[in-house]
Structure 1
Amino acid sequence: MTRYDESDLRRAAAAGIQAPSMYNSQPWAFRLHDGAIEVLADPGRQLSVADGGGWAMRLALGAATFNARLALAWGGTPADVMLLPDSARPEVIARLAPGRSRPPTYLERDLYAAIDRRHSNRDPFWPDPVPADVRIRLIEAARVEGAWLDLLVGMTALTGFSEIAHSADRVLRRDSHYQAEMITWVDTESAYDGIPVGAAATVGEAQDLLPQRNFGGRRRAPGRDYEPEPLVGILGTGGDRKLDQLMAGQALQHILLTVTDAGLASSLISQPIEVPAARDQLRRSLGRTGFPQIALRIGYGHQGHPTPRREVADVLTG
């Protein structure tokens, strides 16, 4: 019977830690158990104010699981994945058991190679439109992971989303506890987590269509405005259980790596999901059943700024 070993575990964890997480909090751990690799939640890294219900943590864990899947497939033994495999052990988010050995597909190779190049880009994008064939790839990346991706088309849809996003952003800015928690994760000079000021968005201006996190006081260069018609995607799932949110995290990472592989940049917009009234308004504006889980801004630009990561040894547990 095939079993994963320590080298597989380290490869999977090295890929997993490159996943995105709110404030770069990195709420994950990895271990080898009975020849399978388990992805674990690290509750000590859950954001108590911004993510009291664990939604953002589960998206991050789903994204880390997708990266680990790619690493194992690249190694020649793709995983059979079971999410929330044991109700008696709720900290176990995913169990990756060895599947049938085979060479990685071209797509798996390409997406695995994109892991280290994927970084959020919160700066203005270039005005070049995202090609139709890439848009199709992004929609398909969500679909194969059991999620859906709606790409907003036209200024009417974009303006509607802008109003919802700015309204949610104002609610969060007025919450002093929320702002205090966010500040603790920004420019901490940490070598292994948090968001350095260089990776933050520039200070927002009145003409900006989309809100940006107030992570720092960095000003944009004169004449370097945000794109007037950004490509915005809304990623969602049919349900809103913990399982659905983990599936959304896998779909999110599949989309982000597809974006990177296509030579594009991206950033995440979570404010409309964090505020329940805004999330419900967004759901109704899309005219579909299901639950929005995250919004993405996609376009041409630089690859973005790397954020620090913990060492592999620090995320391995017995």
Structure 2
Amino acid sequence: MTSTGYAPDVLATAVAAAVRAPSMHNSQPWRFGWRDGGIEVRVERGRALPTAGQGDLGDWAAQLACGAAVFNLRLALAARGTPPRVRLCPYPDDPDVLARLEPDGRPRPATPAELALLAAVPRRRSSRLPFFPEPVPGDVRWRLVEAARAEGGWLDLVVGTAAVSAFGELARGANRVLERDPGYRAEIAAWTRHEPAPDGVPARAGGPVAEPHDLLPVRPFGDQVRAPGRDFEVEPLVAVLGAAGDTAVDRVTAGQALQRVLLTATEAGLAASMLSQPIEVAAARERLRTALSRFGSPQMVLRVGYGQPAWPTARRPVAEVVDAPVRSP
């Protein structure tokens, strides 16, 4: 760290953690740069999803992903003893910069909680496989809710057979709307990888092919036929994550809350997958918000439970996502 900010060589170390954040279709819509002692996170426009991740939602998917990357950056910098102060959407004339991280001026050792979450970063993976029937204990559920609250978000758990069934109907309906869009189907195909690649979703990680009796929809990334007796859980733990509003700042905040929830789940030995179809369809999103009696905006839905380890998905090399350091004149 310099006398006024982070040294440029800190950037690569921190970004190595940041790129492990989740993103829709593993599109990795982020770039990182160093400017005048601060680390900046910017949307990479060429990787924004024109169908599933935008539509009526604008840059929702990219902003959520960049928020998750910001949380990983925070952990990596805290582990160095230099926790950051974060400014969201700091430049009104440059809305693609979603966050700027600067030293908060109070060097300190990382807390045990920060180190535990950082250790979970490389182990966090989206699992599209069926989970085991073992229920998630109440104290672990409370930790997930508190993780979202700690980052300025909220997490509502959908519990009870009737509530879960109603959500499943809502999610399947949203999925049918999406699948009627040729652009949506083409986008899924474009981000499905049948050969090794640094982005996208490997077909082997796509999970089993959907069956008519499944409660929740499955994106068609893979072509695996499920093993006998390995149906998806009848009453999954469904969690809806949201923010106070739906501005860019709200979405980046929600992305940080999402990542804290996912890392908390990983640390607790849980698996999770993201289910965004009810968020992507405006009518379904509003129905979900109303059902939860929330004034805020739902930003993501999670399926959480105990399951076998998921396949890892690749990331682009750090050098490909980092811009050369610049100084203002």
Q: What does residue 256 of structure 1 align with?
A: 262
1:127 aligned to which of 108, 122, 133 = 133
Deviation at 1:216, TM superposition (A): 2.1
Q: Which amino acid aligns with 2:31?
A: A
2:239 is aligned, of 223, 233, 248, to 233
Q: Distance in 2 between matches of 1:131 and 1:237?
A: 25
1:206 Cα deviation after fit: 2.0
2:75 aligned with 1:70:
yes
| Equivalent of residue 94 in structure 1, options 81, 84, 99 | 99
Structure 2 equivalent of residue 192 of structure 1: 198
CA contact (8 A) 2:158 2:238 kept: yes
Q: Is the 8 A contact 1:282 1:292 kept in 2?
A: yes
Aligned with residue 250 of structure 2, among 244, 247, 271: 244
Provide the secondary structure at the position in 1 that maps to 2:299: strand
- Aligned identity (percent) is 55
Give CA deviations for 1:262-293 in whole Å, capped at 9, x if unaligned: 01100000000000011111111112211111
Is 2:167 the counterpart of 1:161? yes
Aligned partner of 1:10 in structure 2 is 12
**What is the match of residue 315 of structure 1?**
321
1:110 corresponds in structure 2 to 116
CA contact (8 A) 1:264 1:303 kept: no
Q: Partner of 1:174 in structure 2?
A: 180
Cα deviation, 1:38-96, whole Å, max 9, x if unaligned, reads 11110110011122311011000000000010000011100000100111222211000
Task: Tell me the residue number matched to 2:327.
Answer: none
Over the aligned positions, Cα root-mean-square deviation in angstroms equals 1.0
Alignment partner of 1:168: what SS?
helix
| Residue type at the aligned position of 2:44 | D
For normalisation by structure 1, the TM-score amounts to 0.98
Q: Give the direction of change, closer, same or farther, for the CA distance of 1:136–1:185 in structure 2 (3 Å limit).
A: same
Q: Contact 1:118–1:303 at 8 Å: present in 2 too?
A: no
Instruction: State how far apart, in whole Å, the 2-side matches of 1:246 and 1:66 are.
Output: 10
Tell me, yes or no, if the aligned pair for 2:239 and 2:302 is still in contact at 8 Å: yes
AA at the equivalent of 1:114: A
C-alpha contact (below 8 Å) 1:188/1:194 kept by paired residues: no
Q: 1:9 and 1:28 mapped to 2: Cα distance?
A: 14
* 1:171 alignment partner AA: V
Q: SS of 2:201's equivalent?
A: coil
Given that 1:139 and 1:149 are in contact with CA atoms closer than 8 Å, whether structure 2 keeps it comes out as: yes
Query: Corresponding residue for 1:44?
Result: 46
Question: Runs of 5+ in structure 2 lacking a partner?
Answer: 325-329
Equivalent residue pairs, number:
318
C-alpha separation in 2, matches of 1:3 and 1:241: 28
User: Which aligned runs of 4 or more in structure 1 are off by greater than 2 angstroms?
Assistant: 188-191
Q: CA deviation at 1:303?
A: 2.8
| Aligned counterparts of 1:112 and 1:216: Cα–Cα separation in 2 | 30
Partner of 1:302: 308
- What is the identity, as a one-letter code, of the residue corresponding to 1:91? D
Equivalent residue letter for 2:68: A
- Give the deviation of 1:188 after TM superposition: 4.8
Choose which of 54, 58, 67 in structure 1 pairs with 2:63. 58
